[in-house]
Chains A and B, each alone.
Chain A
Amino acid sequence: MLTVPLKILLLFAGTLFLLGLAGLLVRRNIIFMLMSIEIMLNSAGLVFIAAGRHWGQPDGQVMFIFILAVAAVEVSIGLALILQVYHHYKTLDVDAISKLRDHN
């Protein structure tokens, strides 16, 4: 039986979330940004599991399954978009995709 307090679990999930956030802020490669979003989604799911276990409710695990479904859809659409972007621009740099930008 695991006796790690809930606070430690929340800190662990928060650390993972902030690592994902830092990766999203720093990286300019679309694949890495998508990966960072995955890390953040995963840590949010971890919080759901920890809280659901703490209060003895099955809702946390149900929410994790929904997060899993959303993550799968997001990744498939995102990777299809990445393929299209690479096809058009021959790069994965997000700063290169600036056709909507107002150049004055």
Chain B
Amino acid sequence: MNIFFYIAATVAITTTILAISRRNAIHALLNLILSLLSISVVLYLLDAQFIAALEVIIYAGAIMVLFIFVTMILNIGLENKQEKKWYNPRMWFVAAFFAGILFLDLILAVKNAQIQPVAAQVIHSKQVGISMFTTYLLAVEIAAVLLMAGIIGAFHLGSQEKKVMHRFLEKK
């Protein structure tokens, strides 16, 4: 059982590295989808089947499709001049160096942590639902308000003013 976790974790980390380092946005997004799918395998192995399904449906299914749609609408190629200048090993080295320091810090913190072993029991989604709609009822309502605000905000931001001129005649 553990071998599946290690395989999925390796795939997730590899595809995430590929996702943040590709120049082409579509390639990066496809790698990120693969990463999300392997994280969903990890979640499934952690006895969170419902969450694993949500990860596939919402993250890999909805959010990433939104990303891909926007990338295709904007037809983003490799035209980012500033990034071409910035995207060299020196820039990577600085960011990777500081991220590596944080990572070492994390390894030390986790290594020295005193985690008492607790008998892991399977949490069924029924328990999750009961907890969500009793203990966290207020948070669910706030999340609903947030989603509503998101809809209104996206609608407002997404609407463009009407143009009188023909779109081929306007100057770029």
Considering only residues 22-36 of chain A, those with a C-beta below 8 Å from chain B are: 22-23, 25-29, 31-32, 34-36
Asked if B157 contacts A93 (CB within 8 A), the reply is no
Known pairs A39-B19, A68-B54, A90-B172; A62 contacts B80 (CB<8 A): no
Q: Does B120 contact A (CB under 8 A)?
A: yes
Which residue of B95, B119, B147 is within 8 Å of A73 (Cβ)? B147
Which interface class (under 10, 10 to 19, 20 to 34, 35 or more) fits B? Answer: 35 or more
Asked if B25 contacts A23 (CB within 8 A), the reply is no
Q: Could you say which residues of chain A place their CB within 8 Å of the CB of B73?
A: 83
Expressed in whole angstroms, the Cα–Cα distance for A7 and B127 within the complex equals 25
Expressed in whole angstroms, the Cα–Cα distance for A69 and B17 within the complex equals 25
Q: Does B99 contact A (CB under 8 A)?
A: yes
Asked if A19 contacts B20 (CB within 8 A), the reply is yes
Minimal beta-carbon separation of A97 from chain B (angstroms): 11
Known: A38-B59, A69-B147, A93-B81; 7 extra A-B contacts, CB below 8 A, are A12-B12, A25-B95, A27-B87, A31-B67, A39-B16, A56-B118, A64-B54
Please report A residues at the B interface, Cβ cutoff 8 Å.
Answer: 1-7, 9-12, 14-16, 18-23, 25-29, 31-32, 34-36, 38-39, 42, 46, 49-50, 52-59, 61-62, 64-66, 68-77, 79-84, 86-87, 90-93, 95-96
Against A, the Cβ 8 Å flags (1 = close, 0 = not) of B15-42 are 0110111000100110010011001001
Asked if B63 contacts A38 (CB within 8 A), the reply is yes
Asked if B132 contacts A69 (CB within 8 A), the reply is no
Q: Does B76 contact A (CB under 8 A)?
A: yes
Which residue of A7, A16, A57, A69 is within 8 Å of B146 (Cβ)? A69
**B contacts with A: majority SS:** helix
Asked if A39 contacts B87 (CB within 8 A), the reply is no
Expressed in whole angstroms, the Cα–Cα distance for A86 and B70 within the complex equals 11
Known pairs A12-B9, A25-B99, A31-B70; A53 contacts B62 (CB<8 A): no
* Minimal Cβ-Cβ distance residue in A for B35: A39
Expressed in whole angstroms, the Cα–Cα distance for A3 and B45 within the complex equals 10
Which residue of A49, A56, A61 is within 8 Å of B120 (Cβ)? A56
Asked if A29 contacts B80 (CB within 8 A), the reply is yes
